[in-house]
C-alpha cells in the first residue's frame, strides 16, 4: 500500500470515531509511523509503506480513535518552536499558553519561578529564550517533575533550571523577578463536561482544582509579596471567564499595572501585574 492510501484509511477511521481535526491528526501519526518530519510527509506520499510502518500507523490511529491525545501517542508536543517530551503524567502543552510566553518575554528577567510546571514547557521555553537567566519549576507531582527535568536536559537548559516538589509556594525558596503559572483552573462543573479524551487521558490534577477553579490564584496571589522582587512581574494563564476575578485578586494582593491579555480567539487568557513598591 502507498502512504496516501494508508493515510486516507486512517483519516476515515478517525472521522468515524468523531475525532476533531481527523485529517491533521492522521498526518501527524503517519509522520510518526514513517519517522519523518510532518512537513516532509508530502514528499513521501507516493512511497510504499512497509509492514512495520503500517502496523505502527494502525496502532496509533486505533489509540487516537479511543481519544488518546496525539502528543501522548508520539511522546512529543511542539511548543513555541521546540519539541517537548509529553507523557500521560503531564498536561499536553496548549497553544494558548504561548500567549503567556510572548508576554513574559516582552521584558528581560534574571530569575523565573514557574508554579505548576508540568512538562516544564513554560520554564524551559523561557530559559531557552532568555540566555543567562535561571529558574525554578515547582509542581506537586513527582512524575511531572521528572518529565520537566528530562525536557530541561533535552533542550539544554538543565544547568540553569532546578525543580522542586512543592504545593504552590510551600517549598519554594528565594525571590524572583518573574513568576509565571498556568495552574489547573477548570471548574468542577466544567470538568465533567470536558471532552472524554481529555478527562480519560490527561491528569485531573493538571486540569481542575475543583470548586470554582480559582483556588490556585487565591493561594498564589496571597503569598506573592514574599516571593516577587520589587518591580517583578506575575503572569498567570486563566480560563476565559476568570479575567475579572483574577484581576481583582492581583489588585487585592498589591500588584499594579494589572492587565488581562486576550488569546487568538479574543478570549481573556493571561493576567499580568507588577510589584511596584
Ligand X SMILES: C[S@@+](CC[C@H](N)C(=O)[O-])C[C@H]1O[C@@H](n2cnc3c(N)ncnc32)[C@H](O)[C@@H]1O
Closest separation between CB of residue 213 and ligand X, Å? Answer: 11
121 binds ligand X (CB under 6 A): yes
Binding mask 136-165 for ligand X (x = CB under 6 A): --xxxx--x---------------------
- Closest CB to ligand X among 22 and 235? 235
Closest separation between CB of residue 13 and ligand X, Å? Answer: 29
- Closest CB to ligand X among 148 and 255? 148
Closest separation between CB of residue 1 and ligand X, Å? Answer: 37
**DSSP conformational letter for 49:** P
Containing H/E element for 218? Answer: helix 215-223
Cα–Cα dist 128/256, whole Å: 28
184 binds ligand X (CB under 6 A): yes
| Closest of 226, 122, 233 to residue 174, by C-alpha | 226
**236 within 8 A of 255, measured Cβ to Cβ:** no
The sheet that has 256-262: what strands, in order across it? 161-165, 134-139, 111-115, 176-181, 228-237, 268-274, 256-262
- Closest CB to ligand X among 118 and 273? 118
**135 within 8 A of 114, measured Cβ to Cβ:** yes
Cα–Cα dist 86/262, whole Å: 26
| Closest of 191, 277, 192, 275 to residue 235, by C-alpha | 275
182 binds ligand X (CB under 6 A): yes
- Closest CB to ligand X among 10 and 184? 184
Q: Give the interface segment with ligand X, choosing from 19-27, 34-42, 116-124, 266-274 (CB under 6 A).
A: 116-124
The correct pick among 53, 97, 187, 253 for binding ligand X (CB under 6 A) is 97
206 binds ligand X (CB under 6 A): yes
- Burial class for 228, CB neighbours closer than 10 Å (0-12, 13-18, 19+): buried
Find the farthest-apart pair of alpha carbons in the chain and give their distance in angstroms, rounded. Answer: 68
Grid coordinates representing 76? 512529543
Q: Which of residues 46-65 bind ligand X (CB under 6 A)?
A: none
The correct pick among 80, 168, 176, 217 for binding ligand X (CB under 6 A) is 168
Closest separation between CB of residue 216 and ligand X, Å? Answer: 7
Closest separation between CB of residue 90 and ligand X, Å? Answer: 6
Closest separation between CB of residue 31 and ligand X, Å? Answer: 23
Closest separation between CB of residue 231 and ligand X, Å? Answer: 24
| Closest of 20, 14, 93, 87 to residue 30, by C-alpha | 14
122 binds ligand X (CB under 6 A): yes
User: Contact residues for ligand X (CB under 6 A)?
Assistant: 90-91, 93, 97, 116-119, 121-122, 138-141, 144, 166-168, 182-184, 205-206
Amino acid at each position: 500500500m502507498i502512504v496516501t492510501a494508508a493515510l486516507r484509511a486512517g483519516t476515515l477511521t478517525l472521522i468515524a470515531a468523531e475525532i476533531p481535526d481527523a485529517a491533521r491528526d492522521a498526518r501527524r501519526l503517519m509522520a510518526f509511523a514513517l519517522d519523518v518530519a510532518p512537513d516532509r510527509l508530502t514528499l513521501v506520499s507516493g512511497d510504499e509503506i512497509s509492514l512495520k510502518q503500517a502496523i505502527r500507523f494502525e496502532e496509533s490511529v486505533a489509540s487516537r480513535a479511543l481519544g488518546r491525545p496525539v502528543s501522548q501517542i508520539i511522546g512529543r508536543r511542539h511548543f513555541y518552536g521546540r519539541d517537548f517530551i509529553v507523557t500521560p503524567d503531564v498536561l499536553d502543552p496548549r497553544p494558548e499558553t504561548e500567549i503567556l510566553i510572548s508576554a513574559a518575554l516582552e521584558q528581560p528577567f534574571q530569575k523565573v519561578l514557574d508554579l505548576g510546571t508540568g512538562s516544564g514547557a513554560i520554564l524551559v521555553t523561557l530559559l531557552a529564550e532568555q540566555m543567562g537567566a535561571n529558574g525554578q519549576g515547582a509542581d506537586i507531582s513527582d512524575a511531572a517533575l521528572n518529565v520537566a527535568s528530562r525536557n530541561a536536559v533535552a533542550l539544554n537548559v538543565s544547568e540553569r533550571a532546578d525543580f522542586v516538589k512543592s504545593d504552590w509556594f510551600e517549598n519554594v525558596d528565594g525571590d524572583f523577578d518573574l513568576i509565571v503559572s498556568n495552574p489547573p483552573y477548570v471548574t468542577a462543573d466544567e470538568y465533567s463536561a470536558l471532552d472524554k479524551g481529555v478527562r480519560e487521558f490527561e491528569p485531573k490534577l493538571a486540569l481542575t482544582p475543583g470548586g470554582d477553579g480559582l483556588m490556585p490564584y487565591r493561594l498564589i496571589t496571597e503569598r506573592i509579596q514574599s516571593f516577587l522582587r520589587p518591580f517583578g512581574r506575575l503572569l498567570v494563564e486563566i480560563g476565559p471567564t476568570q479575567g475579572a476575578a483574577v484581576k481583582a485578586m492581583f489588585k487585592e494582593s498589591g500588584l499594579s499595572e494589572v492587565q488581562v491579555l486576550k488569546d487568538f480567539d479574543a478570549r481573556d487568557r493571561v493576567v499580568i501585574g507588577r510589584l511596584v513598591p
